[in-house]
Chains A and B, each alone.
Chain A
Amino acid sequence: MGRFGKIIQLIKKFPILLLKFLYILPFLLFGAWLLNLVYFQPDLPQVEAKLAEESTLLIGEDHVFKKILQQKDAAPREHFHLIDEWVTRQDHMAPVCLTCHGTYPHSKEEKVRSILNFHGGFLACSVCHARKEAEEHLIYFAWVDRETGAVSKQIKGEYGKYPAKIFPIEITKGARTRIFRPVNEEAARQFLTYKDQYTPDQIAQAKAKLHEHISTKPVFCSDCHKKEGYLNFHDLGFAQTRIDHLNSTEIVGMIEKYKKFYLPSQIDFGLEKAIP
């Protein structure tokens, strides 16, 4: 039998060898696990070395973001009021802006940041941050379903708990419509994927390019919350009583007319009385 014949014989034996190996494998794995359990569990020096190492690392800057990185729950541990699915729900039609700017993108204006942030729950960023320019785009506003992306002028839900979000809809040539997106979403995703390879200058340039259609002066409270304001609440399907409420000056006046709006404690609506 030549070398070729031996190779053929080995190939013929291979299935049996494989079967034997598969038979013995669990025993080998069990033995390895047992040995690890008995001989390689951390004992005092390892435990303490690890503890000392962790203490050192925690002081260092490497763990500055430890708490933020460990936070997985929708609400922080010490949040007292119960939250519901509206805080945690996935928004499949979320604007790409939120990928970088987060759920609460407004932080500068102390007076209105939280109020602006709650608008993010039912308005796409582009509604306020890409002012419609009549000469450039023919735009109207409509509800876009968070799940299906269907465009509608009918409103469902109430007080920020809408299954759809208001988006600017652009009427293109040939009277076709599409969601107006001032930021090129594909380019933004590419930027996020490859930004580690860019120099700081390139990153700055890319950011400027991505935000080129963002208005320097976004739509503010008083632009919408007035009669014949920036948004046509009637076309968006709001009931007349709600439109009257949205057009009233309560919030706008509170924000724009007063540096601080004092809640009158003199007429504290019966706080001093015990509730039965």
Chain B
Amino acid sequence: MRFYGLLAVKSLVLAVIFVILQMASASAQTDLVTDTENCLFCHRYPNMGRYDKSGNKRIYYVNEKLFASSVHGKLKCKSCHAGLDQIPHTNVKKVDCSSSCHIKEPSTGKEFSHANMVDKFQASVHGAGTGGDKKDHPEDLPNCKYCHDNPMYRAPDGVWGQSNALINETLARCMGCHTTSHWAERFYSHFTHRMRKRRSQEEIVALCTSCHEDQEKMARHGIESIGTYKDTFHWIQVQYGVKDAPDCISCHIPVGYSAHDIRPRTDRISPINMDNRVKTCSNQGGVQSCHPGATTQFATGRVHAYGMKAQLLASQNQANFMEDEHISLVIERAEKDLTKSELFHYKVLKLVKLFYKILIAFVIGGMLVHQLLDYMASRRHLKSR
């Protein structure tokens, strides 16, 4: 009897909770996003957020319209924020992009996951390493969110966005079978979203340089900062807004390569490995063929200017810097990366630079002396008249 009484009370409590949540859903629910957990009940307010213990600004606001138009707009919050089941959300776990998110991947019918990309990324130059081969200073390495926000589907451009008529005609064909217009439009956006670069060249350079210009961070990993790119003709073109001017991706992730699988140039599959340079410079097979007639001689030339590594190796007093752990790591890498001929070229360039320094000093100095003497002669001449 007591058992049935308890059961009845428990059922009543559950029913009340269910009704309360349904009421909340009814009052705040939106048709834009699949928010059956009613997270937007709180998270739709723009000022929702706080500063965490480390002083980081945590914004908990989610704009439902922007989210609904994003590539993740069909997912429920819990699909990524897994295990979140209490308020306050003290048990919240970090989002794991390699987890399955309950969307069926249509080609396999399995639950969708970014695990494939995450695995590749961990093994790449930007990843923390795999197995026992872990990198030092993992705090310096980018995570998924460092490069990716939640991108929105945008109106297509390029061939597929030449006119609204083309989009309408294509969509009309799709909707012959796929009768739900919302689904068809979303699938169309999903497809055309991949048909162009999402970021401009300046944005790509800004993203890469946000880490690679940090001398101190780069030195910790034995690499030099990327200031050398900004000495190149490629960067000048980007600055002048030349369409299709090459940014970091153009050479480091050309056609057939993935941004999640960037390898060091010593790796044979790297696009900047000497064996692959001709293919990379010509970029055959892509929409844009940069240097279609690239020869081995052309492709194996130096793209980035000589930087700190060459300076350190050529320096007579490098021993002074060897005490610094980070600098010695850079020198160690420099000895591997720079060939003797490259070092010879660098020294020749330095001599040429020195020659011009002296020449310019003589030319400008001579001009000044000449002008001064001429001025004095003029004054003397005027006085004598």
Contact = CB atoms under 8 A, between A and B. Distances in A.
A260 interface: yes
Contacts of B42: 114-115, 118, 251
B62 interface: yes
Contacts of A121: 45-47
B31 interface: no
Interface residues of A, number: 75
Given A83-B63, A84-B66, A114-B60, A104 B46 contact: no
Contacts of A248: 23, 27
A256 to B, nearest CB: 12
20 contacts: A52-B324, A55-B324, A58-B216, A77-B146, A79-B149, A82-B149, A82-B150, A83-B63, A84-B46, A102-B51, A113-B50, A250-B20, A250-B24, A263-B37, A263-B87, A270-B36, A271-B36, A271-B102, A275-B34, A275-B74
Contacts of B86: 260-263
Interface string A100-137: 00111011001111110111111000000000000000
Contacts of A4: none
Interface in A242-271: 245, 248-251, 253-254, 260-265, 267-271
A86 B215 CA distance: 36
B50 A106 contact: yes
Contacts, number: 193
B145 A82 contact: no
Interface in B70-126: 70, 74-76, 78-79, 84-88, 90, 95, 102-104, 111
A83 B50 contact: no
B351 to A, nearest CB: 14
Given A34-B360, A114-B60, A47 B308 contact: yes
Contacts of A51: 215-216, 219, 327
Given A31-B364, A81-B62, A274 B104 contact: yes
A93 B41 CA distance: 27
B85 A265 contact: yes
Contacts of B104: 274
Contacts of B188: none
B82 to A, nearest CB: 10
A150 interface: no
A68 interface: yes
Contact of B51 (A65, A81, A107, A269): A107
A39 interface: yes
Nearest to A54: B216
Given A87-B61, A118-B48, A274 B357 contact: no
Contacts of B27: 241, 245, 248
A80 B71 CA distance: 12
Nearest to A76: B57
A272 interface: yes
**B-side binding surface: helix, strand, loop or mixed?**
mixed
A260 B84 CA distance: 12
A54 B90 contact: no
Interface in A35-49: 35, 38-39, 43-45, 47-48
Given A82-B66, A264-B14, A275-B103, A114 B326 contact: no
Given A47-B308, A272-B102, A117 B24 contact: no
Given A80-B145, A271-B78, A55 B326 contact: yes
Nearest to B53: A107
B55 interface: yes
Contacts of B67: 81-82
B305 interface: no
B160 interface: no
Contacts of B219: 51, 55
A61 to B, nearest CB: 14
B257 interface: no
A265 to B, nearest CB: 5
Given A52-B327, A87-B59, A121-B45, A262 B85 contact: yes
Contact of B102 (A38, A261, A274): A274
